Amino acid sequence: MENAPRTLIDWAEFARMRSMLGADFIRILGYFREDGEKSVVRIEDAMHRRDAAALVIPAHTMKTEARQFGARPLGDLAEEIEHAGRRAVESRHFPDDILPQVVALRQLYRDTMALFEQETNPLVARRPTFGRAAPSNQEFGRL
């Protein structure tokens, strides 16, 4: 991961969303996983086809959903792609200059989803909570 793993996610925002969604959280995070993968593919395809209009909606979707879960760097990168697509549609000049951002999007998405998986997978040891050791599921069944 290029970014420090803990800086890819605003964990306070993630926790707020988790609390707000309650029992629906994992299901909705799963939708983000599916939508995110599709958005990355659609953005890459739009770049290959040089279709600026086709960049806008998947980048907008990625931006919005990523930010809802506290994935600000992913949301910011998607926003950059979205704005470039919108500018290109208006100017009728394809934004070749965003190729590095489009290339970086897939890995940032994967890194972000890996952190979400670590945080939500009940079989993964949790990060320590402030001021005390976190309960560990790695000790289950040991005497």
Closest CA to 105 of 81, 128, 70: 81
* Domain extents in the chain: 9-122
What's residue 2's pLDDT?
Answer: 47
For residues 69 and 17, what is the distance between their CA atoms, to the nearest angstrom?
A: 6
What's residue 141's pLDDT?
Answer: 47
What's residue 122's pLDDT?
Answer: 76
- CATH architecture type of domain 9-122: Up-down Bundle (1.20)
First-last CA distance in the chain? 37
Residue 117's φ and ψ, nearest 5 degrees, are: -60, -45
What's residue 143's pLDDT?
Answer: 47
pLDDT means over runs of 10, the chain (143 residues) = 67 95 94 96 98 98 96 98 98 96 97 94 63 50 47
What's residue 6's pLDDT?
Answer: 54
What's residue 125's pLDDT?
Answer: 57
What's residue 140's pLDDT?
Answer: 46
Closest CA to 36 of 13, 67, 9: 67
pTM over 0.85: no
What's residue 133's pLDDT?
Answer: 52
